[in-house]
Amino acid sequence: MLRDPKIPDATIERISLYSRPLEKLLSSETLVVSSEKLAELCKVNPAQVRKDLSYFGEFGVRGIGYGVRDLLTEIKKILVSDREWRMAIVGLGNMGMALVQHENFSKRGYRFVVAFDPDPGKVGAPLTNGLTIRALKEIPSLIKELEVEVGVIATQAGQAQAVADMLAAAGTKAILNCSPIHIRQQESCLVENVDFTVNLDNLAYHLGKKDKPRVP
Amino acid sequence: MLRDPKIPDATIERISLYSRPLEKLLSSETLVVSSEKLAELCKVNPAQVRKDLSYFGEFGVRGIGYGVRDLLTEIKKILVSDREWRMAIVGLGNMGMALVQHENFSKRGYRFVVAFDPDPGKVGAPLTNGLTIRALKEIPSLIKELEVEVGVIATQAGQAQAVADMLAAAGTKAILNCSPIHIRQQESCLVENVDFTVNLDNLAYHLGKKDKPRVP
């Protein structure tokens, strides 16, 4: 599935980041925030904030700032995070258990409604969130029955692609892949690969440059 | 610590992504790759590949492509991933255990040399990678003694900021934060926050747009 080429994914990701400090400001009853303040809280520059938000129409008042509540409401509409998303987890090793227990998911509207594991020894085991681990062969029926929209893959490398194919065939519209390998984009299903080594490469690049300046 | 504003972080992250298929091409003895092919393998557009690589000087031959081995060597130099980085993990719950066992870290030169946990009941326990869990109070001495450069935080939300402050004070130059909260940038230490809900927000945005096209 192709993504809209007009709005960069980096913009979408920053828009999502902007919502974190806005939630804190709202709960501390701050009414207005300037692009400078929001930029500082998110560690980007103010021009970037203004440019990112301008993709989605006119927000804010020149010289005053953005209304915190209005901006947050708009961002949630843009990100379609003003609703609940029904998710499946596949793979209940350490990574899968960490994801199921992750406090931010349900807080932000991402709810696990079913859990699968390839290991027959784990099938039937209860999870702390009230779910019971199901077998992979139940993927086709349960994804449809429970109206799962997003599949989260936390299996070992060797199983990830086959699981992604099963999820896509069952009607899952998007996959967050937290396995150690990158999986292929599916025709009918968006794939987002989580890769910690990309974050580490980014840090290493900045550290390396600090130690020994490169001549371009 | 401030990052170099000239080369966008998104470019650094894509450069890191480009290295994945290049490694596969190298192991299958492919000598040359076009920007079109590399772009296809990484799901970006070819102009993006050429623009990203142009930040770092002249690569490739017009009409032919890039030498796979040379390009990979250059990327590793750019990312300073042609060396080993010594890392500490703090927090050995499910997330920490998943990270310690993650096969891609050591493969890409990121090696855990020490592990800490705030829970006194876990201190002294052996890990599968041969390390033994140490107490937080040993952070100041062990970070220096073992020449740790990067700290990976996988504690619970409430402990993450204090752990980041301890790591930075002990001389850690960069932090990969995998805890559920964002931690503040440190004066002497780069911080990269891993936030799965940003990836989910990105998927939700694209799914939501598909269901109900937004008028800009």
Residues of chain A found within 8 Å of residue B10, distances taken between Cβ atoms = 8, 10
Contacts with A, B 71-110, CB within 8 Å: 78-81, 85, 93-95, 97-99, 101-105, 108, 110
When CB atoms are compared, the residue of A12, A157, A210 closest to B205 is: A12
ipTM, interface predicted TM-score of the complex: 0.80
Q: Does B149 touch chain A (CB under 8 A)?
A: yes
Please give the CATH topology (third level) of the domain spanning A9-78: Arc Repressor Mutant, subunit A (1.10.10)
Listing DSSP states for chain B in one string gives -PPPSSS-HHHHHHHHHHHHHHHHHHHTT--EE-HHHHHHHHTS-HHHHHHHHHTT---SBTTTBEEHHHHHHHHHHHTT-SS-EEEEEE--SHHHHHHHT-HHHHHTTEEEEEEEES-TTTTT-B-TTS-BEEEGGGHHHHHHHTT--EEEE-S-HHHHHHHHHHHHHHT--EEEE-SSS--PPBTTBEEEE--HHHHHHHHHHHHHHHHSPPP-
Instruction: Break chain B into its structural domains and give their ranges.
Output: 9-78, 85-197
Selected residues 112-141 of chain A with any CB under 8 Å from a CB in chain B: none
Fold of A85-197: Rossmann fold (3.40.50)
Inter-chain residue contact A202 with B9, CB threshold 8 Å: yes
Q: Are A93 and A116 in contact (CB under 8 A)?
A: no
pLDDT in tens, chain A (216 residues): 445 557 777 888 888 889 888 988 998 888 899 988 998 888 788 888 888 888 877 777 777 888 899 899 888 888 877 789 999 999 999 999 999 998 889 888 899 999 999 999 999 999 988 999 999 999 999 999 999 999 999 999 999 999 999 999 999 999 999 999 888 777 789 998 898 888 898 888 888 765 544 333
Chain B contact for A2 (CB, 8 A cutoff)? no
CA distance A32 to chain B (A): 22
Which chain A residues are Cβ-neighbours of B149 within 8 angstroms? 207
